[in-house]
Amino acid sequence: MSTGSCARLELRGVAHAFTPGAPIFQGLTETMSPGEVWAVTGPSGAGKSTLLSLLAGWESPTAGDIERIGIDTVGWVFQNPHGQAHRTALDHVVYPIIARGTARPEASRRAEHILDELGLRALAERTFAQLSGGEAQRLMLCRAIATEPDLLLVDEPTAQLDRTNAATVNSVLRSLARIGAIVVVATHDHDTVASCSHRLTLDRAPVATGDARS
């Protein structure tokens, strides 16, 4: 995680359209800084997942621009988790730590600690294929944490979870921000929204504007 306190994500007049002339959102201007947890809210189809991929830099907005300053590592936790079916939960978290140059014994200790934080310690030796959807998604959050991201993008992390596990996830996202990450969460969950420090709402309301560029 880069420690520069000037790291930030700048959105300036961001719009995105899959169909020319029919933007799913427009005019998004925000500055997102380390320590902040942003809730991206809005009904299904409003563009929450699309906005996350714009923030990651996977797609370019059709209007406006997004500048990533001092952001080297981007972590993603998808709504539908993809893991390696026959590898253990622990391996999924250990490998990114080893890849960052830590020896295996220490990497295993750190990985177990992260699994513990998300209530998955007891499942460390299970294979990915043996995990439930909610467990698999929490494991992907563990893996993303192991990469020490400057920016963490999380898509609907609590949709498959009971309240207790959802509260754990919300609290882990806040602690990640406290140690210097920018965290952006697409969510419908009122408790998750309440747990975030900032909110960006995509409401699909038609925008009265003379700006026809997007």
* Residues of this chain that bind ligand ADP (CB under 6 A): 18, 24, 42, 44-50, 186
**Closer by beta carbon to ligand ADP, 18 or else 106:** 18
Choosing among Mg ion, ligand ADP, none, which partner's interface includes residue 75 (Cβ < 5 to 8 Å by kind)? none
Choosing among ligand ADP, Mg ion, none, which partner's interface includes residue 24 (Cβ < 5 to 8 Å by kind)? ligand ADP
Residue count of the chain? 214
Choosing among ligand ADP, Mg ion, none, which partner's interface includes residue 93 (Cβ < 5 to 8 Å by kind)? none
In sign, the C-alpha dihedral spanning 184, 157, 175, 193 is: positive
Residues 56 and 153 sit within 8 Å (Cβ to Cβ):
yes
Helices 133-146 and 89-99: crossing angle, nearest 10°? Answer: 20
- CA separation for the pair 60, 51 (Å, rounded): 10
- CA separation for the pair 77, 19 (Å, rounded): 27
Restricting to residues 46-105, name those near Mg ion by CB under 5 A.
48-49
**Closer by beta carbon to ligand ADP, 47 or else 96:** 47
Choosing among Mg ion, ligand ADP, none, which partner's interface includes residue 81 (Cβ < 5 to 8 Å by kind)? none
| Paired strand residues for 11 | 30, 66
Nearest approach, Cβ of residue 42 and ligand ADP (Å): 6
**Closer by beta carbon to Mg ion, 33 or else 49:** 49
**Closer by beta carbon to Mg ion, 107 or else 152:** 152
Choosing among Mg ion, ligand ADP, none, which partner's interface includes residue 26 (Cβ < 5 to 8 Å by kind)? none
Which of 167, 136, 139, 141 is closest to 155 using CA atoms?
141
Amino acid at 15: A
**Closer by beta carbon to ligand ADP, 56 or else 98:** 56
Total site size for Mg ion, rule CB under 5 A: 2
DSSP 129: G
Residues 14 and 54 sit within 8 Å (Cβ to Cβ):
yes
Nearest approach, Cβ of residue 68 and ligand ADP (Å): 20
**Closer by beta carbon to ligand ADP, 42 or else 134:** 42
Residues 195 and 171 sit within 8 Å (Cβ to Cβ):
yes
Choosing among Mg ion, ligand ADP, none, which partner's interface includes residue 187 (Cβ < 5 to 8 Å by kind)? none
- CA separation for the pair 184, 65 (Å, rounded): 17
Q: Interface residues with Mg ion (CB under 5 A)?
A: 48-49
